[in-house]
Amino acid sequence: MRYKKMIIDVVNDTSNITLSTDDYENTYTQRPETYIVPILFAFIFIIGTVGNGSLVMIFFKHKNMINVPNIYILSLALGDLLLIVTCIPFTSTVYTVPSWPYGQVICKVSEATKDISIGVSVYTLTALSADRFFAIVDPMRKLHSTLGGRRATKFTVSVAVSIWCLAVICALPAAKFSYVRQFQVDNVTLFEACYPYPEELGPLYPQAVVLVKFLVYYAVPLFVISCFYVMMARHLIRSTKNIPGVVQGQLRQIRARKKVARTVLAFVLVFAICFLPHHVFMLWFYINPRSTDEYNTFWHVLRMIGFCLYFSNSCINPIALYLVSGTFRKHFDKQLFWWFVKSPTADIKSQNGYMHRKNGTRNKDRIMIHESSTMANIRMSTFKRTIENTTTTILTYGGQDIALI
């Protein structure tokens, strides 16, 4: 088959070599990603919905788990759910249908949702890293804010709401400029795609947007997070010299905060790995003037991997939390495998029953000891009075001698 022109649609991740509409559709159906990607996205949708939905339900059912780091984790879960519900069902069909079939409104919503979700994720991870840094480096200040209770919670909620507002503001260009673009060859429309870069803004606009997104959504936040963790590591190394003089309660607090810091670090590493291939390909394609001519199998595979990892990040966070946090693991097991996991309520009732029986036995023993002591005193008093007064009447009842004077 001879091909006259190659059109690469990066935003919707379709690489199409076309001569006519029939040739385009035939090439489209022959690609393996046309069948592989929708299957992967189905798993992402199911796992992400169940995982993040269960995480949100855990927080709503267990109010005692609402603390500073968990508020940020809840915000992450809500951002991932937003992406999964409003974007993944539509974006996944790019590989199953030749053209965008959902119209301009869904196009704008889908592109804006991607930016909102990634903004919420990366800015929340930055806030979590800062929170862990101050919790470990300045524990007395953190303990004081924790004792404040409502004040610390209100401040954290305000930060989370501000993050969402900032993410929405950053997504406004995608919501405004995204449109359904027609790709044509010789005045023949081959396909339509959801495209966030309007042609009237010129070729420099896509380059500027890709570079700004890389800096604002990836490089700068990860650099800030890295600085927090480097300073945190330096503090922990220095503080090991003073551990013998630290009281046991403070050691437990330090261990708990280090565990939460490791959980946040796992989230950060997952985010960095999932979004790196996508940003590398976008920068190469839009900034490199010869990218269309140099496009080969390597860049095609990298583009596909980046596309899949970009959306898989929305379902990996609950899995990472399940693996690194024993507390959340117990709640996840109870939430998802309630028919298999033994209910803690039954254990509590059993334990309470045992304690009740045990306490009842102890109370009974105390009563018997008190009665025995009382009877012994009575017998001693009777014995003394018998000596003093021989007319004392002795009454035996229940194996005990009771003196009636």
Examine the domain organization and report whether 172 and 238 are in the same domain.
Answer: yes
**Angstrom distance (rounded) from CA 198 to CA 193:** 12
Residues 125, 130, 133: CA angle, nearest 5 degrees: 125
Query: Parallel, antiparallel, or unpaired: how do β-strands 393-397 and 5-9 relate?
Result: unpaired
Show Cβ contacts of residue 53 under 8 Å, excluding neighbours closer than 6 positions: 81
Examine the domain organization and report whether 325 and 360 are in the same domain.
Answer: no
Q: What are phi and psi of 194, to 5 degrees?
A: -75, 120
* Confidence at residue 398, expressed as pLDDT on a 0 to 100 scale: 37
Residues in the chain with pLDDT values less than 70: 1-29, 139-149, 239-257, 338-405
Candidates 24, 13, 11; CA nearest to 188 is 24
Considering 313, 336, 359, which residue would you say is the last residue of a domain?
A: 336
CATH code (residue 300): 1.20.1070.10
Examine the domain organization and report whether 89 and 207 are in the same domain.
Answer: yes
* Confidence at residue 119, expressed as pLDDT on a 0 to 100 scale: 94
Considering 284, 313, 336, which residue would you say is the last residue of a domain?
A: 336
* Confidence at residue 257, expressed as pLDDT on a 0 to 100 scale: 65
* Confidence at residue 192, expressed as pLDDT on a 0 to 100 scale: 84
Examine the domain organization and report whether 362 and 291 are in the same domain.
Answer: no
pTM beyond 0.75: the answer is: no
**Angstrom distance (rounded) from CA 304 to CA 202:** 27
Domain range enclosing 273: 5-336
Considering 311, 336, 361, which residue would you say is the last residue of a domain?
A: 336
The residue count of the chain comes to 405
Examine the domain organization and report whether 215 and 331 are in the same domain.
Answer: yes
Examine the domain organization and report whether 360 and 264 are in the same domain.
Answer: no
Examine the domain organization and report whether 236 and 324 are in the same domain.
Answer: yes
Examine the domain organization and report whether 15 and 96 are in the same domain.
Answer: yes
**Angstrom distance (rounded) from CA 94 to CA 89:** 10
Residues 156, 162, 163: CA angle, nearest 5 degrees: 90
Domain count, the chain: 2
Examine the domain organization and report whether 71 and 102 are in the same domain.
Answer: yes
Q: Which tokens hold the place of 243?
A: 């551990």
Examine the domain organization and report whether 282 and 379 are in the same domain.
Answer: no
pLDDT tens sequence across 266-307: 888 989 999 999 999 999 999 998 888 888 889 988 998 999
Examine the domain organization and report whether 328 and 349 are in the same domain.
Answer: no
Examine the domain organization and report whether 322 and 383 are in the same domain.
Answer: no
Whole-number CA gyration radius for the chain? 34
* Confidence at residue 18, expressed as pLDDT on a 0 to 100 scale: 37
pLDDT tens sequence across 198-255: 888 888 999 999 999 999 999 999 999 999 988 888 877 776 555 554 555 566 666 6
